[in-house]
Structure 1
Amino acid sequence: MSDRRSEPTEIPPLLLGEGLVKTYPDGDVRALRGVSIAVAPGEFMAITGPSGCGKSTLLHLLGGLDRPSAGEVVFRGRPLSDLDLDSYRASEVGFVFQAFHLIPTLTALENVQVPMFAAGIPVGDRAGRARRLLEEVGLSHRAGHPPRRLSIGERQRVAIARALANGPSLLLADEPTGNLDSASQREILDLLSRLRADRGVTLVIVTHSAEVAAEADREIRLRDGLVVG
């Protein structure tokens, strides 16, 4: 009998950026000049580089918040141009921003529920899910507080809970520790690492922080709209 041994199966990337170019309407600003990256399922990738190098632009393209001028973003083998972007953003991607973007008139519990409307989660399930998420980020005791009554670090925890509201497979964070002191940065980084491990979520972070980048599985460095390392 012949000895047939199966070859190792290469795991396909969760997310691909292929030859991404982004030129803004006046034509004079070319934020990305042909960027190609591959993000593996469950990976923690850091995107670094100087201000204005195209980091946030790349993150917006990967998350379907903007469209490339050329090139393609591919998610689970399907180009975003073939997908319903509203559905992609609502069900597959969670966003965390430096400025939090919490609604000031809503409580922490209500802010976490906001993405659930687009995903069609039943009304009766939203509050319970939001409470569980706040508990997961250590803020169940602050559920009834509006953003103005939360510390900066607590606001970012609420924003992270909101990003997880619909159980995304991909978490995209743009300078999530940029407004935080060193102690709060460490807490948020530990929280993101724990959530990634517990949930199996893929994490892509744009950061200026060497400490954050050092925690990543891989660092992609941009300069002048190009990958340089």
Structure 2
Amino acid sequence: MTLKERYDGVIAWFSENMPSPETELHYDTPFHLLLAVILSAQCTDKRVNIVTPPLFEAYSDAAALAAASEEDVFNFIKSVTFPNNKTRHLIRAAKVLMEEFGGEMPSDIEGLMKLPGVGRKTANVMLSVVWDKAAMAVDTHVFRVSNRIGLTNNSKTPLATEKTLMRHIPGDVVPKAHHWLILHGRYVCKARKPECGNCGIKGWCRSYANEMKKNSGK
């Protein structure tokens, strides 16, 4: 199987079976999505969705959060991972939004990455989810699934994975592909025990093919 055939097969299957994938983080504005994505680092979306409703109600915009105390914000998010660091990131990001962007969310990767707590992955999430731009956020699921399937070839870094995926996935498909790979990794192609029996793309999966070859040789 060629690399193009693998990409074409995976994209075709997901396009038919998951035509409108969406983030599982709950949000109502780009500002609130930013907060949710920052909170989701090394934390489950389920936990983030529990803590964000009262946080969003208390801080409707960057101006409100920029004026908040660390103690107040911490009390809203103390059940997520690394709450102390994330408290500081949220408040500082709000302050930078006010000071450098007039309270408006930047819509380019350079502007987004000026915000404390926002790395390349978070910036790409914002670009793809809010503005439907061709930006590939590589989290642990995307990194693992891409290599396991064979969309990448032992990429060493998230950036290498991002560049490879962007080279082979059509731009208009990239925002969906970001969700496809995350959701597939979260619910089917799990880290410790992938559920290959429930996998619709196993026919294009390098790891599955290698396992079948190994088993047939026994």
TM bin (shorter chain): under 0.3
TM-score normalized with structure 2 length: 0.27
Greater fraction of residues in helix: 2
TM-score normalized with structure 1 length: 0.26
Greater fraction of residues in strand: 1
